[in-house]
Amino acid sequence: MGRRSACRTACVVVLLGLGGACADGGGGAADDAADAAVTDTAVAGSDAGEVSDGTSPEDVADTAASDVDVADAADGVDTADTADTADIAEDAADVAEVDDAEDAAADVAEVDAAEDAADVAEVDDAEDAAADVAEVDDAEDAADTEVGEEQLVVTTGPQGRVRLYEDAALAEFISEVTVVRAPSKSECVLFVHAQGPSFAVAGTVTVGGAVVAGPGGLSSAVSIPRENGSNQYFYFGAVFPKNDTYTVDLTISGNGTFAALPTRTYRPPAAATVAITSPTPPTGGDPATLAASEDLAITWQIPSGDLTDHHILFALSFVQGDLGTEGELYCNFPLAAGAATVPEVLLSELARRTGAPAGGLLDIAAGDGDILFVGNTLYVVLVTRPPDSASYPASTWATLQ
């Protein structure tokens, strides 16, 4: 009930409560007055104009008139009640309208909330989809560097390669290459760089050691001259004799880019040629064909004598495909083993990073060497005697596919 209706009801109670009683639904005091008038009239008729208590007919008439006035007053109060009731109804309607409006607003809010929830769900779905795509991308990236259970290790950094031959010493340095290794095949390493790289300066490269004192080798330690135009290091002349009697030392001073290589000692290949029994060299000028999808098995006849510091060196160098990159794969196997495997995981990675089919130079030689890191600098060193350290033809053209 509204505040205005409550006030009006209180006023009605005051108006009708003259005798301490409130109007009831049948008229209350006014009805009693009317009943008294009827009774008095009947008595007057039976007693020839006077009632039994001595009241005159005129008094009876006045009483009746007064009773009628009271009844009229009662009727007036009933009309006010009706007006109040209408006001209450209007208030109730107003409340109902407010309630309906609030309900409608609540319904709209519910719809808005549902739409917002749908929007959030769509966003969540989109985010979930993006996350799924990211997971797929991560899986594909992992697949790029994982074969079977072998997880490849990929790093970047400077790289230097030194080749010491019976009659020459060569060195090239590149400021940054991508290096790929298979932890289970630590005797091998793969690195890739842009085709036609710009060679860098790595300080002073010095060759010397016990070979200086022996016949047929260096007359003194030599710092390999650097060609100013290309930054390649070249020395042509006797380096070691055609035997493994005297060792040869290599030292690289390094600089801000390339780590210094402390003096390393290597043993040149023996005088006798090592017979390579597989793979079979190509004939008729055809290139050797290497399958990137399988291991490459290499076998050789183990020579007699002390094989300490003697190795079979595998080199697949200057490999280029159609991706604008150049790759090189080197392995260093103990000569006493008689057999070795160039892993498929690195052959396939070389093909993938250069663009198969790719072509390069294949060498399988006897001698000594290193595949080592000094800090983040990768150094590859080969000490051999082409073409007769081993029976496989030197610098054989090969395709990787």
16 CB-side CA count, 13 A: 25
Residue 50 has pLDDT above 60, yes or no: no
Q: Of 7 and 168, which is predicted with more confidence?
A: 168
Residue among 363, 381, 366, 387 nearest 315 (CA): 363
Asked whether the predicted pLDDT for residue 72 surpasses 60, the reply is no
* Position 129 pLDDT exceeds 60: no
> pLDDT tens across 176-209, in order?
999 999 999 999 999 999 998 889 999 999 999 9
In this prediction, residues 302-322 reach a mean pLDDT of: 95
Distance, CA of 147 to CA of 181 (rounded, Å): 12
Confidence at residue 209, expressed as pLDDT on a 0 to 100 scale: 97
Mean pLDDT of 233-252: 97
Residue 108 pLDDT > 70:
no
Determine the Cα–Cα distance for residues 192 and 327; give it in Å rounded to an integer.
4
pLDDT at 51 over 50: no
Alpha-carbon span 174 to 237, nearest angstrom:
25
The number of angstroms, rounded, from the C-alpha of 116 to the middle of its chain's C-alpha atoms is 28
313 and 335 Cβ atoms separated by less than 8 Å: no
Mean of pLDDT values over 164-174: 97
Q: Is 165 exposed, middle or buried (0-12, 13-18, 19+ CB in 10 A)?
A: buried
Tally Cβ neighbours within 10 Å of residue 86.
10
Give dist(CA 224, CA 356) in Å, integer: 36
Residue with more model confidence, 326 or 116: 326
Structure-block tokens of residue 108: 């709209």
Cα→Cα distances 192→67, 127, 186, 318, 394, Å: 124, 37, 17, 10, 22
Rounded mean pLDDT of the chain?
75
pLDDT at 236 over 50: yes
pLDDT (0 to 100) of residue 285: 85
Indicate whether 91 pLDDT > 50.
no
User: Is the per-residue pLDDT at 225 higher than 50?
Assistant: yes
Averaged pLDDT, 337-353:
97
The full set of domain ranges for the chain reads: 3-115, 147-400
- Distance (Å, whole) CA 71 – CA 77: 10
Q: How confident is the model at residue 149 (pLDDT cuts 50, 70, 90)?
A: low
